[in-house]
Structure 1
Amino acid sequence: MKKIFRIVLSIVALLFASQAPALTDRAHLEKWCTHGSQVAAGRCIGYLLAAEDALSTAEVEGVRACVPRDVTLQQLHQALIEWLATHPDAAGETALGLVARAYAERFPCGK
């Protein structure tokens, strides 16, 4: 009986929990992808590749991109940096959403 009560209580807690803010935002993304340290570059590369994987199977924050299989990491990085430079107003979104939008603009589906 205690086990069932704990399960029900956990479910209720999850239902009423507020959505946590994104762990990674534009400031982090720009720092990682433009800063000169190897640690920052490693974080940027990891994030870009993870975003590519996520977009290969589903939409991310309502955005779909069709990244070609033969795309290089340099092309992914360039797509993001150029997109961020031309969209300074896109500050309140998650980093994953920003990367998704950058990739969708550079690698749209159906074209």
Structure 2
Amino acid sequence: MTDRSPADQVTSAFDDADYPAYTMGRAAAMLGVTPEFLRSLDATGMLAPDRSAGGHRRYSRTELVLAARVRELLDSGLTVLAAACRIAELERDLTDAHTRLAEPGRDDTPA
């Protein structure tokens, strides 16, 4: 039986992009946003941060990258209409991709 050492566990947490390492205040500071912005992403379900034993939000690097992308889109002037159109396009593309993958006799092996 080989138990991982505490140092190995820490290194693993450092390497894990989904490890909830950042408090709301730290996450907001890193992204240059307000805590309210992060709360709004939580409220919409865009982010689902872990909670500490005391109920405080803890964000992962993966969530921070997503939050940064949302902020970037909003800062670029993306409107609700443009966002809805883009979602519809992506849904259509996804449906098309699923249809192609479900085609009988499809060979997905790389060349």
Instruction: State the TM-score, normalizing by the size of structure 2.
Output: 0.32
Q: Normalising by structure 1, report the TM-score.
A: 0.32
**Which structure features the higher share of strand residues?**
2
More helix by share: 1
